[in-house]
Amino acid sequence: MSQTRLLLIYTGGTIGMIQEKPDAELKPFDLNSILAQVPEIASFGYRLDAHTFAKPIDSSNVQPATWSELASVIASKYESYDGFVVLHGSDTMAYSASALSFMLKNLAKPVIFTGSQLPIGHIRTDAKENLLTSIEIAAAQLKGKARVPEVCVYFDYHLYRGNRAIKYNSEKFEAFHSPNYPLLAEAGIRIKYNDNDILPQPSAPFQAALTLDNRVGSLKLFPGLRPSYIRALLSDTDMEVLVLEGFGSGNGPTNPWFLTALSDFINAGKVVVDITQCHGGSVDLGKYETGILLRKIGVTSGHDMTFECCITKSMHLLAAGLSGNALANALENAVCGELNGDS
C-alpha cells in the first residue's frame, strides 16, 4: 500500500506559542519547532508535509481572507494528500471550520481543525494529544476511503462536525461543545467513530469556492432595546443579511416599531435570519405569537444553526450571488449537515 500523505497547515494560535521570558506575552514560533516537541508523530509512519502561513496570526485576527487562503491551500493540494490537519487558535476556530465546510464542496477527505488551551511546550499542555489524535483521524480510512470526509474540530478527545461546534469555555481543556449534533468520534483507548452521524462520501467531484461576501450583520435581542439603536443598525445600506439572535425558540418583541423596522429591511430585498440565543434547541417560528409575527413579516428560520455557522453560511451564499428569497431559502436548507430543518 502507498504511504498515507497528510498536510499539516499552521495558521497560528496557542498551540504554536512560546513564552520567551517568565510573565512575557505568548508569541508564535515555527512549525518545525512544533514537530520537534512531538517526536511521537514519526511513529505513525505517515508522510507528513507542512504549510505555514507566512505570518502566523492570533485567531482573533482571523478574517474572511484567512478562510480564502486556507481553502486555496487545501484546493491546490487536494489531489496530493489523503487528509489535512489545520492548527488554529481556538477563539475563532468554530468560525473557520464553519466557513471551510461551505467553501470546500463535495469534500471526500478529512479537514481536521485543532489547537490547544496551553502552548505545546508547556508541561501540562493539551496540545500533544490534540495534534496526535487529529493526525490519526485525518489518516483513518474505512474500506479504502476516508473515514471522516468532512470539516471537523477535534479537541480534548472529542471530534465535532465543524459547522456544529461552538467554543463554550476559555479555561477548560474541553473547550468545545456541539449542542445540537452528536459527536463524530470519541478518543479513548481506541478511537470510536459514530459512522452513522458522519457525512457520506460525496458523489460529485470536489470543488472549492474561494470567495466570501461579508455584508452581514447581527443583532442579539435583549429587553430594553432602543428603537434608535435598531434603526441605526438597519440603516447600513451595505448589509444584506441580518442574523437575529432571538429568545428561546426564536421569539422577539411584538412592539410595532420593531416589527416595522425588520419588515422594511426585508421589503428592501434583504434577509433576516432568526437563530436562538440558547446553546441547545432550535427556532420554531410557529410555536408562539411572538415567533409567528416574525414569520409573517418574512423572517427566515435559521433552525438550529450556531451563530458561527449562520454568519459564515450567509457570507458564502452572498458570494455565490444569491439574494432575496433565493438567499432566504438557501439559508433554511442544509448544505453540508449544518442544520436540522424539522422545526
**CATH no. for residue 9?**
3.40.50.1170
Does one domain contain both 57 and 108? Answer: yes
The domain boundary, picked from 208, 237, 253, lies at 208
* Cβ atoms 332, 303 nearer than 8 A: yes
**pLDDT score for 1:** 46
* Cβ atoms 6, 139 nearer than 8 A: yes
Does a structural domain hold residue 190?
yes
Cα–Cα distance measured from residue 65 to residue 183, given in angstroms and rounded to the nearest whole number: 29
Does one domain contain both 140 and 13? Answer: yes
* Cβ atoms 148, 156 nearer than 8 A: no
**pLDDT score for 23:** 63
46-98 residue pLDDT tens: 999 989 888 888 888 999 999 999 999 999 999 999 999 999 999 999 999 99
Does a structural domain hold residue 232?
yes
**pLDDT score for 123:** 82
Does a structural domain hold residue 101?
yes
Structural domain range at position 193 = 5-208
Closest CA to 269 of 240, 295, 290: 240
Number of domains in the chain: 2
Does one domain contain both 173 and 243? Answer: no
Does one domain contain both 20 and 63? Answer: yes
306-318 residue pLDDT tens: 999 999 999 999 9
Does one domain contain both 49 and 96? Answer: yes
Phi, psi angle pair for 141, to nearest 5°:
-130, 155
Closest CA to 338 of 101, 68, 91: 101
**pLDDT score for 276:** 97
Does a structural domain hold residue 121?
yes
Does one domain contain both 202 and 101? Answer: yes
Question: What DSSP letter does each residue of 245-304 carry, written as one string?
Answer: EEBTTTB----HHHHHHHHHHHHTT-EEEEEESSSSS---TTSSHHHHHHHHTTPEE-TT
Phi-psi region of 34 (alpha: psi -120 to 50; beta: other; left: phi over 0): alpha
Report residue 122's pLDDT band, with 50, 70 and 90 as the boundaries.
confident
Mean pLDDT of the chain: 92
Does a structural domain hold residue 341?
no
**Model confidence at 121: pLDDT above 80:** no
Does one domain contain both 15 and 119? Answer: yes
Does one domain contain both 153 and 185? Answer: yes
The grid coordinates listed for 311 are: 454568519
**Model confidence at 165: pLDDT above 90:** yes
Does a structural domain hold residue 127?
yes
Question: Could you confirm whether 14 is annotated as catalytic?
Answer: yes
Does one domain contain both 282 and 308? Answer: yes
The grid coordinates listed for 302 are: 435559521
**Model confidence at 322: pLDDT above 70:** yes
How many angstroms separate the Cα of 333 from the Cα of each of 99, 196, 301?
Answer: 16, 20, 10
Portion of the chain with pLDDT greater than 70, in percent: 95
**pLDDT score for 238:** 95
The domain boundary, picked from 163, 186, 208, lies at 208
Catalytic one of 4, 11, 14, 125 = 14
222-271 residue pLDDT tens: 999 999 999 999 999 999 999 999 999 999 999 999 999 999 999 999 99
Does one domain contain both 58 and 138? Answer: yes
Report residue 27's pLDDT band, with 50, 70 and 90 as the boundaries.
low
**pLDDT score for 291:** 86
**Model confidence at 290: pLDDT above 90:** no
Does one domain contain both 21 and 154? Answer: yes
Does one domain contain both 22 and 156? Answer: yes
